Every structure is written in structure tokens, then in C-alpha cells.
Structure 1
Amino acid sequence: MKKVIVVLVLAVASFSSYAQSTFKEDVEIVQSVYGKSKSDLVKEYMNLSDAQATAFTKVYENYETERKALGQTKFQLINDYAANYNTLTDAKADELAKATLKNNMAYEKLYTKTYGKAKKAVGAINAAKFIQLEVYLQTTIRNEIQNSIPFIGELDKSKVKI
């Protein structure tokens, strides 16, 4: 019984500290997972000629600006979820779910827009390579986040009645 209580306390403590410290920016998560900066990872993976790299840089910089704004919104939503986890109401859950779905759709729109611009700058194959890498990285980041936060009601189910 003591083990269950200790595990519960540790889970709540780690979730609370995770939520209270501002979430890492996406790029920091990529760096912690892959051991290099995101821009270095993209540059290495894309393996573009100098002329292509020059054309791609503006597309990539614009993409990163928009992606970072979406990432901040995503992390604000997660922090909001963490702050309301213990007192989550139906209305708050609805608000958070709708905002999260809207944020996910905004990422998809950004991929589509960036693909079109990258295709014009460096061709379809290289544009597809970039989008494939970006979707993979964002999936990895989502996985890291999902593994760090409890599902709705998860902590409630693990409470032990004494």
C-alpha cells in the first residue's frame, strides 16, 4: 500500500513540476532527443546544394516563425490543462479539447502552405523530404509530451482509499 501511495505522490509531483516549469520549446525537445539543434538536423537531412540551401532558407525561416507561435499556443494549452487537471470541469475540458484540435489543424495548414513554398524553391522531392521530417519531429515531440502528462482521470483512478 505504501508503494502505491509513493507512486501516486511521485506522479502528481512530477506532473505538477512539469506543468509549473514552462514547457521546453519544440527545438529544445528535438535537441534533447537527437543531440543537435533542429536547424542542424534539418540542414543535414535535407543535404541541399548551396543554391538550393539559399532558396530554402527563407521558406524554412518563415515556417519556423509560424511553427514557434503554434508551439507556444500548444504549450500554453498544456499548461492550462495542468493548472486545471485536479478541478477539470466539463466546460474546461471542452474548451481545451477544441483549442487543441484547432492548434493541430493549424499545424496541418502550415505544413500544406510550407510544402507549396518549398516545392517552388527546391522542388517537390526536397519539399516532401522537409515535410516528412517535420511531421516526424512533431510526432516525436507530441509523444514526449504525451508520455509526460497524465490522461484525464488517470491520477484519480490510481488513488488508494485508506
Structure 2
Amino acid sequence: MKRVVTAFSFAAATLLLSSVLTFAQAPQPSSQSGANTQPDSINDKDIEMLRANLRENRKELMAQNMTLTADEATKFWPIFDQYRKEAIKPNDERWALIKEYAANYDTMTEAQAQDYMKRSTAVDQELHALRLKYVPAFEKVISPKKTALWFQIDRHIDLMINLQLSSLIPLVNASE
């Protein structure tokens, strides 16, 4: 039963993310020669609303899939909230990088491509390090197995979001 709830929850989150992100697609290469496709209009307010929605859904998914006693929940959620608060900064960097990539897609230089790779990897490493930083804090209030469950669920959510984002972001045009 737990697997069904988890699978359904992740599917629902992916569907939500998919429907919300469709308006945020980065520019696609044009099939017409010499024509540049402009990205859809998306502003910072739209992105913030999307991100707030994702944060709320992440917490709901976590709550649905963690079996916490009342005492554990009282101690777990403040740590979880602090962890997610700290995750905002590297995720700000990720969104800025995506916007920059979209803005430079048609004119990307070799140097910009290298910078994109370095910065993207740095964000991934920062988020991974942040998750590892919180393992001891969670283990003080819940068991190591429940901490591992938190770790897995959080990582799976990030992987799903990254998969969805990567499906919307066109690959670098290396033919030029």
C-alpha cells in the first residue's frame, strides 16, 4: 500500500510540475532557416509562484510518505523546514542558470557553454552537500532508517523535478 501511495504521490507531483512548467519552456531551435524562436514570456513572479507550489507539494509528499509518531513529527518538521529554507539559495542559482541559458540559447559561446556546465554541477553538488549536512540533525530526532527514508524521498523529488526540467530545456546546439 505504501508503494502505491508513494508512486501516486510522485506521479501527481510530476503531473503538476509538467502542467505548470509548460508555459516556461526555453526556446526551441527553429526548423526555419535563419529564424529565431523567442522564449515564452515568463516573469520572476511566475517562477516564484511555481517554486512556492513545488515547496508545498514537496512537504505534502514527505508527510504522506513518512511514518512519524506525534513526538517525531514535532521535532522533524522544524528541521525539515530549516533544510528547505537553506535549499532556496542553491535553487535560486538553478533558476537563474536556466533563465540565463534560455536567454543565450541562440547565441551561446564556447565560454558560456563551459560556464553553464561548471555552474550547473556546482548547484547539484551544493544541494547534495546540504542534504548530507542535515542527516545528523534528522538522526537526532528520528531513527537512521527514517532518516534514510527522508533522504530517499527528498532525492527522488529532486530527481523528478530535474528530469522534468531537463525535458523542457533544449540541448545545446553544438553543430555551429
Aligned residue identity for 1:126: K
Matched, 1:28 2:48: no
Distance 2:83 2:165 in 1: 22
Q: Computing the radius of gyration over CA atoms, which structure comes out larger, 1 or 2? A: 1
Deviation at 1:60, TM superposition (A): 0.1
Q: TM (normalized to structure 2)? A: 0.71
> Helix, strand or coil for the counterpart of 1:121?
coil
Matched, 1:17 2:40: yes
Q: How does 1:1-150 map to 2 (within 5 A)?
A: 5=31, 12=37, 16-17=39-40, 20-22=42-44, 23=47, 25-26=50-51, 28-29=53-54, 37-150=57-170
Q: Which protein has the bigger helix share?
A: 1
> Helix, strand or coil for the counterpart of 1:56?
helix
Unaligned runs of 5+ in 2: 1-29
Q: TM (normalized to structure 1)? A: 0.77
Aligned residue identity for 2:59: S
Q: Number of residues paired by the alignment?
A: 142
For 1:119-153, what per-residue CA distance to the aligned partner results, in whole angstroms no more than 9, with x for missing partners?
11111011100010000000000011001110001
Contact 1:52 1:121 in 2 (8 A): yes
Distance 1:146 1:30 in 2: 19
